[in-house]
């Protein structure tokens, strides 16, 4: 007849349960903090990338609008009042171009930033 050997390693003592709970809790906390930190770094890196992309994509938007509106204003002014009207029209066109170009550039910057940020976070 075979003699049965007690399996002591299978008996859960209170101290073993406490140590197991501590190990599981520590691993869970470390995993959670590591994941959170990685996402935070990723989000800040993507934000920096998105700002750079938006800046690059919207460079020169306001200047082009100002030049275009100045030419249109000068043309309309010259038709109405000759040389003096062309000067006034160009100045009015510059001011209007600056205002509308700045608004358009801001909207385009926001669009490009959001697009680049979403693209970066997806990767």
The string of pLDDT tens digits covering residues 24-50 is 667 665 665 554 444 555 888 899 999
- Three-state DSSP state, 97: helix
- Tell me how far CA of residue 26 lies from CA of 14, 22, 31, 40, 84, in angstroms: 18, 6, 8, 21, 80
| Amino acid 115: pLDDT | 93
pLDDT confidence of residue 37: 47
The model scores a pTM over 0.85: no
Residue 62: the pLDDT is 72
Collect the ranges in the chain with pLDDT lower than 70.
1-17, 19-21, 23-25, 27-41, 123
Query: How much is the pLDDT for 51?
Result: 92
Tell me, what's the pLDDT at 16?
A: 60
């Amino acid at each position: 007849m075979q003699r049965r050997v007690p399996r002591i390693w299978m008996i859960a003592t209170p101290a073993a349960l406490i140590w197991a709970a501590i190990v599981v809790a520590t691993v869970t906390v470390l995993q959670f903090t590591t994941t959170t930190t990685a996402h935070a770094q990723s989000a800040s890196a993507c934000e920096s990338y998105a700002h750079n992309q938006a800046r690059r994509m919207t460079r020169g938007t306001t200047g082009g609008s100002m030049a275009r509106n100045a030419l249109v204003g000068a043309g309309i002014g010259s038709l109405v009042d000759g040389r003096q009207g062309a000067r006034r029209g160009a100045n009015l066109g510059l001011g209007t171009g600056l205002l509308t170009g700045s608004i358009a550039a801001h909207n385009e910057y926001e669009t490009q930033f959001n697009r680049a940020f979403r693209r970066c976070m997806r990767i």
